[in-house]
């Protein structure tokens, strides 16, 4: 039995659940190994079922070795309830942060003795094992190499679309399965948009160009942001950049097991606030990542999870000034026994692209 499945069964025991139904794809993959897009797990202490459709039967048999593969009938709800009835389940957990109201209602209508109990499983994925860390590191390295490549490509006249396309193509050529999310390229005044998806705008001399992107490798994500200046930076651009960098380094410096996400967020936020830009750092400091791009634990004012070795998070403070532009610096980081290890290796000193 896989370590991940062992974790799930321990969790069921703690929650006094007889079984669980899982349909969120990151969790299906995590607990079973199955990577297809259509699959539902039903798991008890001694039985694991994976219901999928005819497209995936062979793949599921190869990947989900701890699970009995069930081909779904014409009606998926009937298939699910038939399997649940065949097991001795009274309390059945379901993913309350994922299962739709419609599906929940339909399943509930079919059940006779079972009680549906809301649970959340994502926190079971927080601590990564060595295999997972190796996949994340590979995804980080791909993004680092794409960043190095794109520096030679940046010049006035190229569009944000072009830059995003080059980044994504390069990552694919380096072995990425896909981009980790829609690549963000935001230049000039648009760099004040924290999530400015690449647009037709062309790069101009004097622009800050913020690029936020990542790769997926073996299902695992990486996430990096760098802001660079086209031409020589103005003193204001340099000032803002140095404040963000100092805040990022301070957060990394204090990123230790035993602290909460809120504490680390506050360290970066206080620095930016002291420098006079607190109101222009509107988002949380970072987020966990793994089989999904945003997961637990959060580094934010509400982040209450106590950090532990093996957790992987981003650290990404930013300052965004409307009509002027913005700067964000983001690394992917793993919490270690005594501190943290920054996986991202791209340069963080202000880069001026001289053309
Ligand atoms: Mn991020």
Q: Give whole-number Cα distances, 355 to 20, 174, 200, in Å.
A: 58, 27, 21
Q: Which fold has domain 3-125?
A: Creatine Amidinohydrolase; Chain A, domain 1 (3.40.350)
- How does pLDDT run across 176-223, given as a tens digit for each residue? 999 999 999 999 999 998 888 888 999 999 999 999 999 999 999 999
Q: Which neighbouring-strand residues pair with 159?
A: 202
Helix (H, G, I), strand (E, B) or coil at 174: coil
For residue 106, report the distance from its CA to the centre of ligand 1, in Å: 36
For residue 314, report the distance from its CA to the centre of ligand 1, in Å: 6
For residue 118, report the distance from its CA to the centre of ligand 1, in Å: 28
For residue 282, report the distance from its CA to the centre of ligand 1, in Å: 14
Residues of the chain with pLDDT under 70: none
- How does pLDDT run across 79-128, given as a tens digit for each residue? 888 888 888 899 999 999 999 999 999 999 988 888 999 999 999 999 99
Give CATH 3.90.230.10 domain extents, the chain. 130-353
For residue 287, report the distance from its CA to the centre of ligand 1, in Å: 7
Evaluate if pTM is beyond 0.85: yes
For residue 193, report the distance from its CA to the centre of ligand 1, in Å: 14
What pLDDT is stored for residue 81 in this prediction? 86
What pLDDT is stored for residue 9 in this prediction? 97
Q: Residues whose CB is under 5 A from ligand 1 (ion)? A: 223, 314
How many CB atoms neighbour CB 278 within 10 A? 14
For residue 265, report the distance from its CA to the centre of ligand 1, in Å: 14
For residue 99, report the distance from its CA to the centre of ligand 1, in Å: 25
What pLDDT is stored for residue 84 in this prediction? 86
Give CATH 3.40.350.10 domain extents, the chain. 3-125
Find out if CATH 1.10.3720.10 is the number for domain 130-353: no
Asked if residue 102 lies in contact with residue 183, where contact means CB atoms within 8 angstroms, the answer is no
Between helix 130-151 and helix 160-173 the angle, nearest 10°, is: 130
H-type alpha helices, 64-159: 76-86, 101-110, 130-151
Peptide bond between residue 297 and the one before it cis (omega within 30 degrees of 0): yes
310 Ramachandran zone, left/alpha/beta (phi>0; psi -120 to 50)? left
């Amino acid at each position: 039995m896989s370590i991940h499945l062992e974790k799930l069964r321990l969790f069921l025991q703690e929650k006094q659940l007889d079984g669980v139904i899982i349909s969120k794809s990151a969790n299906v993959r995590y607990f079973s190994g199955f990577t297809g897009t259509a699959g539902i797990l039903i798991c008890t202490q001694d039985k694991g079922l994976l219901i999928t459709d005819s497209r995936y039967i062979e793949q599921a048999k190869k990947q989900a070795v701890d699970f009995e593969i069930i081909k779904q009938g014409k009606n998926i709800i009937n298939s699910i309830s038939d399997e649940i009835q065949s097991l001795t389940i009274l309390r059945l957990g379901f993913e309350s942060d994922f299962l739709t109201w419609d599906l929940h209602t339909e399943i509930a209508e079919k059940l006779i003795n079972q009680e549906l109990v809301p649970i959340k499983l994502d926190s079971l994925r927080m601590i990564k094992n060595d295999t997972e860390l190796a996949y994340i590191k590979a995804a980080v390295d791909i993004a680092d190499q794409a960043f190095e490549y794109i520096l030679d490509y940046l010049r006035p006249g190229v569009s944000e679309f072009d830059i995003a396309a080059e980044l994504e193509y390069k990552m694919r050529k380096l072995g990425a399965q896909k981009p980790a999310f829609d690549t963000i390229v935001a230049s000039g005044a648009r760099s004040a948009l924290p999530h400015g998806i690449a647009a037709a705008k062309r790069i101009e001399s004097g622009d800050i160009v913020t690029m936020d992107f990542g790769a997926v490798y073996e299902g695992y994500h990486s996430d990096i942001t760098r802001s660079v200046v086209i031409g020589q930076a103005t003193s204001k651009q340099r000032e803002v950049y140095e404040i963000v960098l100092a805040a990022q380094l301070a957060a990394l410096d204090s990123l230790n097991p035993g602290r909460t996400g809120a504490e680390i967020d506050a360290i970066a936020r206080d620095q930016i606030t002291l420098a006079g830009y607190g109101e222009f750092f509107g988002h949380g400091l970072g987020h966990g990542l793994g089989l999904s791009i945003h997961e637990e634990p959060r580094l934010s004012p509400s982040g209450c999870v106590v950090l532990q070795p093996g957790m992987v998070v981003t650290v990404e403070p930013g300052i965004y000034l409307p009509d002027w532009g913005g700067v964000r610096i983001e690394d992917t980081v793993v919490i270690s026994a005594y501190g943290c290890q920054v996986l991202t290796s791209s340069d963080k000193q202000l880069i001026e692209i001289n053309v």
